[in-house]
Amino acid sequence: MTARKIVKNVLSVGAIDWDRRLFDELIPLPDGTTYNSYLIKGKDKVALLDTVDPTKARDLIENLAELGVDRIDYVIAHHAEQDHSGSIPKILDVYKMAKVVTNPKCKEMLKDHLLVPEDRFITIADRETLSLGDKTLEFIYAPWVHWPETMFTYLREDKILFTCDFLGSHLAQSELYARDLGKVYGSNKRYYAEIMMPFRTSIRQNLDKIKPLEIKIVATSHGPIFDDPEFILNAYRDWSSDNVKNEVVLPYVSMHGSTAEMVRHFIDALMKRGITVKPFDLPRTDVGELAMALVDAATIVIGTPTVLVGPHPAAVYAAYLANALRPKTRFVSIIGSFGWAGKTVEQLAALIPNLKVEVIPPVMAKGFPKKEDFAALDNLAEQIFLKHQTLGHS
C-alpha cells in the first residue's frame, strides 16, 4: 500500500484490511474495511490524524517511511477505540518527539487502554485551533458518535473535515474516493445501522454543529472518502430523522414449520397491501443486513416458535439487538406458535424497553396454523396497513 495525495501536503497514509470479516467478534464485515490515517505537512509542523488497527501498524510505518517522514510533531487522536488508536504507541516509539493531541476524555481513555504516558499528551478544548504554519487544525468535539470522547478536525485552509468513524463505512477498496455510490450508500447505511443508530440524537446535534462549515472533502477513518460531502451528509440527515418507511422487518425462526407457514402467509398479506416486507430467517441471517433494515422501517414483527416456555433464542437475540440499536420503529408485533402453553409474548415484550413503540396484539397459533390463525394474520397486516397510513411515510 502506498500513500495517496488528497490535496497538496495532505495525504492518506492508512491501511486497507481486505480480509477482515468480523469486527468486535460481533459485526460481519462482508467487504473488509480500511483504517484511514492522514498526514498533514505544514510549513512548520507535521501532524498525523489517527493511526490504524495495531494489526496493520506495519503498513502505516512503511507508508510514512516511503514518504521520507522523519518527524511527526502531533498525533491527533479523534477516538480512543483501538482500530484507530492502537498504533499510537508504535508511532510514539518511532517518532520520539511526537505528542498526542486530543481532548481530556480521550486522553484518559488512551492512558487506560494503551498505557500512553501522561507526558506525551497535549489536551485541546472544543473549537481550539493548532497551527502547523500554513495549515490550521480546528478541533470540534463531537461526543457520542459513537463514544463519549469522539471529535472531528477541520482543516481550515483546505476545507477538509476529518470525522473518524462518523460518516464512515466498512468497505475495503483501492480507490480513495466514493465513486460507486450505490455500493457506498449500502456500506455506509450498514455501518450507520451497526455503529451509529443508537446515537441518533447525538448525530443530529453533531450534524447541526458542522452545518456552518464550508466542507469540500469529508475524510473518514473507515472506507472511501467524499469529495461530494452532501451525498453522505444528506444520507445521515435522512437516517437520523424521525421519518419511517412503509416497511415491515420480519426476523423469524421456525423449528417444525408452523411459524414458517405463518410467516409465508403474513408476507403475502403485507405485499397485497402494498407494504414492503423484509424477512430474515434468523439462523441464516447476516445481522448487519438485519440492522440495516431496521434503520427506517415503520414496523418490526418477530416470528418465533415457543421453546420450553419462551421465545426461541434466535428470536431473543433479534429482540435484544433491536433494543440495543434503538431504531426509530413505531410499531411492534409478534407472530408464532406454541405446543401447549408459554410466555413467549411477555418475555419478548420485556426485551425491548428502549423502543418507543406501540405494540399491536400478537398472533400465536396452537400448533400448525389453521383457518382462524390465517385470518388473524390478515387482520394484523390490515392493522399495520392502517397504522402506516397515519404516518405520512415515504
Residues making contact with ligand FEO (CB under 6 A): 79, 81, 83-84, 146, 165, 221-222
Nearer to ligand FEO, 165 or 247 (CB): 165
Nearer to ligand FEO, 195 or 267 (CB): 195
CB of 74 to ligand FEO, least distance (A): 20
Nearer to ligand FEO, 291 or 352 (CB): 291
Contacts of 239 (CB under 8 A, 6+ apart): 189, 192, 197, 295, 296
How many whole angstroms separate alpha carbon 221 and alpha carbon 188?
12
Residue 19, Cα to own-chain centre: how many angstroms? Answer: 19
* Contact between residue 364 and residue 309 where contact means Cβ atoms under 8 Å apart: no
Q: Residue 50 burial by CB count (10 A; 0-12/13-18/19+): exposed, middle or buried?
A: buried
Nearer to ligand FEO, 113 or 366 (CB): 113
Nearer to ligand FEO, 220 or 344 (CB): 220
Pairing of strands 276-281, 245-252: parallel
CB of 120 to ligand FEO, least distance (A): 21
CB of 333 to ligand FEO, least distance (A): 34
- Helices (H), ranges, the chain: 57-66, 82-85, 88-94, 104-114, 181-191, 200-210, 229-240, 258-272, 287-294, 313-325, 344-349, 371-389
CB of 165 to ligand FEO, least distance (A): 4
- Report the residue number whose CB is nearest to ligand FEO: 81
Name the grid cell of 188: 455506509
Nearest to 7 by CA among 162, 158, 228, 224: 158
CB of 139 to ligand FEO, least distance (A): 18
- The SS3 call for residue 368 is coil
CB of 148 to ligand FEO, least distance (A): 12
Nearer to ligand FEO, 37 or 285 (CB): 37
How many whole angstroms separate alpha carbon 305 and alpha carbon 322?
19
CB of 9 to ligand FEO, least distance (A): 25
CB of 21 to ligand FEO, least distance (A): 16
The CB-based long-range contact list for 110-118 (8 Å cut-off, 24+ gap) reads 110/77, 110/80, 110/85, 113/80, 113/82, 113/85, 114/80, 114/82, 114/85, 114/86, 114/88, 114/89, 115/89, 116/88, 116/89, 116/92
Q: How many residues does the chain have?
A: 394
Nearer to ligand FEO, 83 or 296 (CB): 83
